[in-house]
A and B are shown apart, each in its own frame.
Chain A
Amino acid sequence: MSTTYSQERKIAGWLLSAPLLILLAGLLIWPMYLGFKTSITHDILSEFETYPAGFENYKNLLVEPNFWSSIRFTLIFALVASVIELTLGLGLALLFDRIFPGKRFLFSLMLIPIMIAPSLMAVMFRLILNENIGIIPGLLSKVGLSYSIFDQNNIFTSLIILDVIEFTAFTFLLSYSALQNMSSEIYEAAAIDGANKRQTLLRITLPILKPALAIVFLLRILDSIRTFDSIYILTGGGPGTSTQTVGIYIYKTAFIYGDFGLAAAAAIVLVLLLTPFMPFIIKQFNLGTESSR
């Protein structure tokens, strides 16, 4: 009896995962192999012939200061932006978690920033932040403020604000959906115990939401590590390489410098650098499987 049950579970596991496995086999394994092969090849656009280069690209990458500085910038940027976005998104979700007039309409409006492609959003930012024809500098100067949005001292703050405007909708939507899974009994029990609103939030809501929020935070961090469009379009990574994310580094290496081998190596090194944290993250966030309980 128990063998057939565990067998049934095993078969079901395979069947249920089959679509995922097929997609992964088709779109991950082979491209990964191809990517790895490119990374150990001397493969430059301006040279027609490609030839095996061993680990030459990796060696060059390890001593490339721009690569490492871009990783540092990316990590700082991703961390700061994600923390702000998670906090704002959660706060907004809590604010939305009640009935008020116009809720549905405002909810949809709040999601608009992710409906616009980051590359187009960046063009819109170029427009509204343009010192000469943009409405933001125009309004600022009307109220007597002179603030240089793209000045070197302000650029980091500006880019963070733009990222927050663009992606808080994401953390908001997921936090809100997590809140919907809270049962009313918990709140009622808390109310009976005489907990005030603040206590309920800190002692009950947040601890219950923690695993879900951890997932949201994790996804946001991972996404900010690989996105590049907005910053690339606004600053090109400059002045110099001061705002260059690792995504911009890889994009430029492949498509401007035409060095596909080096770009592939950079992508692989990036993944390898971050993969050791994966088991740790999965464990922290309690995402393991039943059997590990």
Chain B
Amino acid sequence: MRLKKTSIALATALSLVVGLAVLPNANAATTVKMVLWPGPEGDAMQKVVDSYNSSQGKKDGVTVKMILLSRDNTFAKEAALMKAKSSEYDIYFTASYLVGQHAPYLSDLKGVKDSLYLKASVNSLKVAGKQKALPLDTSLHFMYYRKDLIASLSANAAKYTSIAKTVLGKDLTPNTNPATWTWDDALATAAFFTQKYNPESPTKYGYALPAKNLLYNTMIWNDVLWGLGGNWLKNGKPNLNTPSGKAAIDVYNTIYTKGLTSPESSQWEYAETNSALTSGNAALALQWNAAYSELSTTGATKDQIGIAPPPGKGQRTHVHALAVGLNKFSKNQAASAKWMAYLATTPAMKTYAGAGGVPSMPSILKGMVATNASFANIIEYAGKFGYSESAGPREFDMYAALAEVLSPAWSGQKTSADVAAAADAAIKKLQK
């Protein structure tokens, strides 16, 4: 009997406590949860979040909470959440190459001022004419080269020509302006700085080739394809089993099979490519703009790193924007929209840039060239050479499928003739 009374009392107390904990406090701000990935973007965004929470957020009645997930897992986890129609997070992290896949789970954004942004970036986040995400960082590629090495080319013209003849079977003379390179120039220069052909070369290999089966490596290879006049699609049909497609595969294949890059590079990605340059073992690489700050300050490339657009007759660089989109199933649509509206302003992006981000707003990038010289190149290249495939909702999958099909040829296991048809088939399979 007594036990019963005690338990009733206990239960009442418990439900009161639980009730109090669950009942929303009328004055409390709405918490908006946002997913981002760690690294420079996450670090920079934390500053923006802090500044919003302490000022504008108070007026809006919104508190933003950022959750960081690691690189590969960010998108994997988001995929699971989206499929479960989860409302756990209000704002998802996305990117130009993913927005097609994510679009069904994102609300349309209104009031984004296109004119504030790099055109290539803001447009890459539109799906069927609707703005699905807000651009944060713009990413594109540079041809990085060692200035000290390129400067030494003209004094060795005869040797250069003879090495180019041996390795590539072509008559070439040194071109000391990488901004005007064709792929032949780049390959010949890489051969010249490979010790196998030139024992006096200060670097063991001329080139650092990220040839791992990884979808981000397909993005880099795309520059080669486009630079040689190719494209994934022609009139909506797969277009890689063509002379230009095969020529682009052959550029990578030649670099690998001729030993212009390390045999280990068949498993390289961003980090390994960078370390090949900073350790002084390689002279050139097509690499992401984000590498500039490390390359310009570290190791053998310190103060010696030069930037040029990717080689080619019609030079092109992949360009994409990292972005944030509003979860369609979020229960805090209005509050999230307020935060997104703040994020779309110049002051917010100024804070972002000040903390290490690379916002897609040219006006801000221009103002910060003094702190990071590569910002000038980003504005210039995005406008002049920026390009992206528009391959529909399964574009992300195509990058992965192409990495899978092409990587054996990139790393010399197969030839362009072996894989070109399979590449077309892989694209076709993912087209709707």
Contacts and interface: CB of A to CB of B under 8 A. Distances in A.
In the complex they form, do A and B come into direct contact, defined as C-beta atoms under 8 angstroms apart?
Answer: yes
Interface of A: 43, 45-48, 126, 130-133, 148-152, 155, 234-242, 251-252, 254-258, 260
A74 B257 CA distance: 29
B219 to A, nearest CB: 14
B397 interface: yes
Given A131-B262, A133-B279, A151-B264, A239 B211 contact: yes
Contacts of A234: 267
B266 A46 contact: no
Interface stretch (B41-49, B54-62, B339-347, B405-413): B405-413
Contacts, number: 110
Nearest to A252: B400
Given A152-B413, A240-B407, A242-B408, A254 B266 contact: no
Interface of B: 75-76, 79-80, 82-83, 100-101, 103-105, 211-215, 262-264, 266-267, 271-272, 275-276, 278-279, 281, 393-394, 396-397, 400-401, 403-405, 407-408, 410-411, 413-414, 430
Given A126-B271, A150-B266, A255-B80, 13 more contacts: A46-B104, A131-B262, A132-B281, A148-B264, A235-B212, A238-B212, A238-B403, A241-B213, A241-B404, A255-B79, A256-B397, A257-B397, A258-B397
A126 B271 CA distance: 9
B227 to A, nearest CB: 23
A164 B82 CA distance: 37
A102 to B, nearest CB: 37
B213 A235 contact: yes
Contacts of A148: 262-264
A33 to B, nearest CB: 16
Contacts of A151: 263-264, 266
Nearest to B411: A239
A242 B212 CA distance: 12
Given A148-B263, A151-B263, A238 B404 contact: yes
B273 to A, nearest CB: 10
B104 A240 contact: no
B413 A130 contact: no
A149 B212 CA distance: 14
Given A132-B276, A150-B266, A235-B213, A240 B408 contact: yes
Given A237-B213, A256-B396, A45 B83 contact: yes
A293 B145 CA distance: 74
Nearest to A153: B263
A203 B378 CA distance: 73
Contacts of B267: 150, 155, 234-235, 238
Main secondary structure of the interface of A (DSSP, over half): loop
A237 B404 contact: yes
A231 to B, nearest CB: 11
A255 B75 contact: yes
B155 to A, nearest CB: 27
Contacts of B404: 237-238, 240-241
B104 to A, nearest CB: 4
Contacts of A242: 408, 413
Nearest to A149: B264
A73 B215 CA distance: 22
A239 B213 contact: yes
Contacts of B76: 251, 255
A43 B85 CA distance: 13
14 contacts: A132-B276, A133-B279, A148-B262, A148-B264, A151-B266, A152-B413, A235-B213, A238-B267, A238-B408, A242-B408, A256-B396, A257-B430, A258-B79, A258-B396
B104 A239 contact: no
Contacts of B407: 238-240
B213 A257 contact: no
A42 to B, nearest CB: 13
The 4 closest A-B pairs by CB, nearest first: A238-B213, A48-B104, A240-B408, A132-B279
B213 A45 contact: no
Residue of A48, A130, A131, A260 contacting most chain B CB atoms (<10 Å): A131
A48 B213 contact: no
Nearest to B269: A236
A274 B216 CA distance: 35
Nearest to B272: A130
A254 B76 CA distance: 8
A241 B214 CA distance: 11
A238 B403 CA distance: 9
A132 B205 CA distance: 11
Contacts of A43: 83
A282 B262 CA distance: 48
A46 B281 contact: no
Contacts of B264: 131, 148-151
A34 B189 CA distance: 57
B403 A236 contact: yes
B266 A236 contact: no
A130 B275 contact: yes
Given A150-B267, A151-B266, A234-B267, A45 B82 contact: yes
Contact of A45 (B79, B276, B278): B79
A236 B101 contact: no
Contacts of B82: 45
A45 B400 CA distance: 15
Contacts of B397: 46, 256-258
A252 B79 CA distance: 12
Contacts of A131: 262, 264, 272, 276, 281
B394 A46 contact: yes
A46 B100 contact: yes
Given A132-B272, A150-B267, A256-B396, A236 B83 contact: no
A45 B80 CA distance: 9
Contacts of B262: 131, 148
Nearest to B76: A255
A195 B171 CA distance: 79
Contacts of A241: 213, 404
A56 to B, nearest CB: 14
B408 A239 contact: yes
B142 to A, nearest CB: 20
A258 B212 contact: no
A58 to B, nearest CB: 17
A155 B411 CA distance: 13
B75 A236 contact: no
A271 to B, nearest CB: 20
A236 B105 contact: no
A281 B346 CA distance: 66
